[in-house]
Structure 1
Amino acid sequence: MKPTLVILAAGMASRYGSMKQIESFGPSGETIMDYSIYDAIQAGFGKIVFIIREDFADQFKAIFEPKLKGRIEIDYVYQDLKSFTGNRVIPADRTKPWGTAHAVLCCKGKIHEPFAVINADDYYGRDAFIKAYDFLVTKCNEKTYCIIGYELNKTLSDNGSVSRGVCEVDADNNLIDINERTKISRQANGHIVFEDEAGTYHVLPENAMVSMNYLCFAPGFIDVCESFFGEFLDKNINNLKSEFFIPVVAGQFVSSGKGVVKVIPTSSKWFGVTYKEDAPVVQASIDKLVAAGEYPNNLWA
C-alpha cells in the first residue's frame, strides 16, 4: 500500500495576512503546495489528503482538482474547532484552530496506511520526500515514527521571528525530547536565540536539528493524538492562543515509552512564507530551482 501525504492547509495565516496556501509563486502560477505534491508523486506517494477549512473548500478544490485529476488520488478533511472536544465549552472568542496535532486527529477514519504530514506553506525539497517515502515503506510501524530534520540556521526568516520544534537526539538519531521554541531569531551579534515566556533570551546552536512539521507516522498515530488531546484541552481550553502541536505529541509518544521517533536529516534547504515580506525570496528561490532544471517551467503541463 502506497503511503499518503497529509497537507496541513487549515491555518488562518494571521501573520502572513492572506490565504498564503493558495498564492502563486511558480512561473506558471504554481503554489508552494504544487511543488510538494509534485515531489511526492515523483517519490511514489499514492494519495494526498488536504486538511482545510470548510468555508474555503470550494475555492480550494477549484484550484487543485483540475490539475491533479488523473495524477494522484485526493481527499479532504475539514478541521473544525468543535471536533473531538466532547462536551467541553469552547470560549466564544476562540477562532484559532487547535493546532497541527488536532488537524491530524481530524483525519480519524480517513487514513489507514502509513502517512507523512507537511505544512502547505513550506517548501521541503525533493530529498525530504525521497527519504520520507523510503522510511514509510521500509521502516515505519506503530512503534517507529520519524521526523525529517532540518538545520536550524537554514530555516530562519529575515523578516521576523519563527517557531521551531528543537530536537534532542541520541547517538542513533532517536528523538530524546523535542522542545517547541517560539520567537526564534538571529540577533545583530549573529547568535540565534529564542525568547521564553519571561522575556529572557537563550542561545541555540546554529546546527540544531529542528522539526519543520515534516513527520512520518503509522496510522495509529491518529489515536495517539486523540489520547493526549483531552488532557491538552483540560489544561488549555481557556487559553485563546494555545495549540496542540504534532512535535509535542511525538515527544510525549517517546517519553511515555510507546516507541521511538527517528530524526532523519535531509540535505534539502527549507524556505517558506511566514511573513508577507518572505514572498519575494520564495519566488526567487523557486525561479532558481526551475532555471537549474530541478522542476519544469509548468509542473502540470
Structure 2
Amino acid sequence: MQPTLLILAAGMGSRYGGVKQLDQFGPNGETIIDYSLFDAIRAGFGKVVFIIREELRADFDEVFGQKLAGKIEVDYAIQALTSYVPAELGEVRRTKPWGTGHAMLCAKEHTQTPFAIINADDFYGLEAFQLISEFLKTDTDDQLHAMVGYEVKNTLSENGSVSRGVCEVNDNGNLSSVVERTKIYEQEGRIVYEESDGLTPLSPETPVSMNFWGFKPSVFPLLQQQFESYAIANIDSPKAEFYIPTVMTTLIQTDLGHCKVFRSQSEWFGVTYPEDKPVVQEALKRQHDEGKYPSTLW
C-alpha cells in the first residue's frame, strides 16, 4: 500500500506577507511544494492531500492540477474554522486557523493509508521522504509513529526568530517529548528560545521537529478527542493553536502511541520572512546545479 502525503498549506503567512505556499522559488518558477511532491513521488507516495483554506482551492488547482495528472492522486481537505469544533460551543469567533494538529484532523476523511504530513513552505530533501515512506510501508505497529528530526543549528533564519518543536530522544531512538518553542534565534553566538520568564539556551545539535511526521490512520480518533477537548478549553482564545507536537506528546504521556525519530542528513531550508526568499532561491539553484534535481521537475 502506497502512503499518503498531507501538505499543511492553510497558513496565513502573516510574517511573510503573502501566500508563500504558492510563491515561486525555483529557477523555473517552482514552488517549494513542487520539490516535496517530486521527492514524494520518487519515494513511493501514491496520493497527496493539500490541506488548505477554501479560498485557495482554485489557485492550487491551477498551479498543481495539470502537472500532477497521471503522476499521483490529488485530493483537497479544507481547514475551516468550524471543522470538528463541537456544535454546542456555538459561534467560532476567530480569524486564524486552529493550528497544525487541527489541520491534520481536517484530512481525516481523505486519508485511509499510513501518511506523512509536512509544511508547504519547507524543503526537506529526498532522504527524508525515503525514510518516512519506507517506515510507513513496512511497520505494522499501529501505535508506532515517526518523525524526521533536524539539528536546530541548521534550521534558523538570519532574518528573525523561528518556531520549532524541540525534541528529547530516549536511548531507544524514540521521542520522549516535543515542546513547541515559538521564538528561537541566535544571540551573541548562542542559540536561545524566548518565553515570558526569559531566555533559555539550546545546544546547536538539539533535534527539532520541522513538522515532518509519519502517522498510522489509527491516530485520527485520538486526535479528534484531543482537539475537541482543546476547542472547549480555548473557544474564547482566538489566537490559541493546537499543534501536532502537542498531539504526539499526549500520545506518549498516555502510552497510546510512540514515535521513532529519524535523523536526516538532508539539507533543510524554509521560508518565514520575505528576506528568506533569495536565500531559498540560491539554495534551490544549487540543488539543480549539483544534479539532485533535473533542469525542470515536470
User: TM-score normalised to the size of structure 1?
Assistant: 0.96
Deviates more, 1:158-167 or 1:218-227: 218-227
Contact 1:140 1:217 in 2 (8 A): no
Q: What are the superposed Cα offsets for residues 73-100 of structure 1, whole Å, 9 maximum, x if unpaired?
A: 11000000001111213453x1110011
Corresponding residue for 2:196?
Answer: 197
Equivalent position to 1:220, from 218, 221, 228: 218
1:166 aligns with 2:166: yes
Aligned-pair distance for 1:71?
0.9
Equivalent position to 2:265, from 264, 267, 274: 267
Aligned-pair distance for 1:196?
1.0
Structure 1 SS opposite 2:185: strand
Q: What are the superposed Cα offsets for residues 119-144 of structure 1, whole Å, 9 maximum, x if unpaired?
A: 00000011101101111111253210
Structure 1 SS opposite 2:108: coil
Q: What are the superposed Cα offsets for residues 50-85 of structure 1, whole Å, 9 maximum, x if unpaired?
A: 011111211111110011111111100000000111
Number of matched residues? Answer: 297
Q: What are the superposed Cα offsets for residues 118-170 of structure 1, whole Å, 9 maximum, x if unpaired?
A: 00000001110110111111125321001111111000000000111111111
Corresponding residue for 2:293?
Answer: 295
Corresponding residue for 1:111?
Answer: 111
| CA 90–269 in structure 1, closer or farther in 2 if over 3 Å, else same | farther
- Kindly report which structure 2 residues correspond to 1:97-136, keeping only aligned pairs within 5 A, or say none: 97-136=97-136
Structure 2 SS opposite 1:77: strand
- Kindly report which structure 2 residues correspond to 1:233-244, keeping only aligned pairs within 5 A, or say none: 233-244=231-242
Q: Identity rate of aligned residues, in percent?
A: 49
Structure 1 SS opposite 2:232: helix
One-letter amino acid matched to 2:5: L
Q: Distance in 2 between matches of 1:35 and 1:124?
A: 9
Q: Distance in 2 between matches of 1:120 and 1:197?
A: 29
One-letter amino acid matched to 2:98: W
Q: Distance in 1 between matches of 2:233 and 2:12?
A: 23
Corresponding residue for 1:257?
Answer: 255
One-letter amino acid matched to 2:68: L
Aligned-pair distance for 1:173?
1.2
Contact 2:52 2:77 in 1 (8 A): yes
One-letter amino acid matched to 1:297: S
One-letter amino acid matched to 2:108: K
Corresponding residue for 2:80?
Answer: 80
Moved over 2 A (4+): 89-92
Q: Distance in 2 between matches of 1:39 and 1:108?
A: 23
User: Which segments of 5 or more consecutive residues in structure 2 lack a partner in the other structure?
Assistant: none
User: Which segments of 5 or more consecutive residues in structure 1 lack a partner in the other structure?
Assistant: none
